[in-house]
Amino acid sequence: MFILSAPSGTGKTTLANEIIKNDEHISLSISCTTRKKRPNEIDGKHYYFKTKEEFKDQIESEELLEYAEIFGELYGTPKKEVLKKLDSGEDVLFDIDWQGHRQLSAIARADVTSVFLLPPSKKELLERLKLRNQDNGRVIEQRMARSDEEISHWHEYDYIIINRDIEQSLEKLLSILKSERLRKERRTGLNDFVGTLIHEEFVKTKII
C-alpha cells in the first residue's frame, strides 16, 4: 500500500495519476466521498459519490478501510476493492490525508509505504490553488488555513519530497516504489527460494 499525502495544491493528484501511467504494477484506490461531483468527474472513476446516509451505512457495516471528514465532507476507502487488488499481488496507491494514513498504518504498518509532499513555499501553494481554477476565494482561504495542520504531520511519513518540479518528483516517487518492492519482507517466495538454493546439490567439476 503506497500512500501519498499533501496539502491541497501541492500536486498530489497530478503525481498520483503520473505514477499510474508509468508503473503497470500499481493502481489507484478510488475513494468514496459525500462532496458534490465536479463537472469533469465520473462516478466510479474519480470517486464513488455517496450521500451522507450511504456513507454512514458503509461505516457501520465496516466496509471502509479508513475514513475522514475534510471541509465538512466525508472521504473513505472501500475495503473490498482494495483487498481484492492486494490479494492478486497488485500494489495500491492511496491519495489520502494524514488521518487516513494514520488509520491504515495502525492496521497494516508493515504493508504501508508513505510519502508526504511539501510545497516549495506558502506563496507557491497559493498560486497553484488559484491556477487550478476549481475553488472560489473562500474555499482557497480554507485550504490555505488547513495546510498548516496537514504539514504538521510530515514527520509521521516514511519519505518527504519537496515538490518543486513535477518530473523530478515523479522520478523520486518511482524510485521509492522500486526500492520498497525489493525489501526482503515484501519478496513473496524468497524464503522458499533461499531454502532451495542452500540445499541444492553442488556438482563438483574440475576447475582449470
Which residues sit in the known binding site for ATP? 6-13
Judge contact between 173 and 180, C-beta under 8 A: no
- Helix (H) or strand (E) holding 22, with range, is helix 12-22
In the beta sheet, which residues pair with residue 68?
A: 75
Q: Residue 133: what are its φ and ψ, rounded to 5°?
A: 55, 35
CA neighbours within 13 Å on the CB side: how many for 174? 16
Q: Residue 24: what are its φ and ψ, rounded to 5°?
A: -75, -5
Q: For 133, which DSSP code?
A: T
Summarize the annotated binding site as residue ranges: 6-13
Cell output for 99: 488521518
DSSP 43-95: BTTTBEE--HHHHHHHHHTT-EEEEEEETTEEEEEEHHHHHHHHHTT-EEEEE
* Beta sheet of 159-162, edge-to-edge order: 26-28, 91-95, 2-5, 113-118, 159-162
